[in-house]
Amino acid sequence: MIHVTATSPGMLDWEAEFDFDGIEKLNTPPVVEIDMDEIEGTYATWSSDSYSFSLSGTAIDPDGGEVILSATMCGETTTGFTTDGEAWTVSLSIAKCIADGLTYYDVVIRAEDSAGEWSLTGVIVGDPYGSDDTTPDITDDSSEEESGLPSIGIFATVISMLGAAVLLRRD
């Protein structure tokens, strides 16, 4: 409850009471960011064996609560984060991704605060030693029956049409 009084010469005194009972601040979801190496323009720091990489960043709860982090990549989830205040680091193995035949790894970081609010952020990490072929395989499902003229060719078609035109002019 807040009581306000206002007075001034030449005006009537003003008094009001404001009841803030039942008003509460809504929770704000955590903010999570992933650091990018400015020089290389990548998010990941690869291990020497090239079978895992590390990501780092910050996670902040605007309401001051604790933030619990998890990372999901290639269908596997890990909570093995190393934290120091707002800063975090996680190392992710690409073994499952390799078994699935992937060379690009979609990583989603989930941050959840103590009130249950959560937020997601993600990056795609390319394998620097994987295949550079990023074009999808294109398969042609059409058959010869579906494709216009069968093997006669455009040149033969034009000659046939000219011959027909000459024969029609004679009549």
The full set of domain ranges for the chain reads 31-126
Q: Give me the mean pLDDT over the 11-21 stretch.
A: 88
| Residue of 101, 124, 102, 121 lying closest to 111 (CA atoms) | 121
pLDDT classification of 131: cutoffs 50, 70, 90: low
Q: Is the distance from CB of 42 to CB of 84 less than 8 angstroms?
A: no
**pTM of this prediction?**
0.63
| CB neighbours of residue 107 within 10 Å | 20
Backbone phi, then psi, for 89, in 5-degree steps?
-145, 140
In this structure, which topology does domain 31-126 adopt according to CATH? Answer: Immunoglobulin-like (2.60.40)
Range ranked top by mean pLDDT from 6-10, 85-89, 128-132, 137-141 = 85-89
pLDDT classification of 107: cutoffs 50, 70, 90: very high
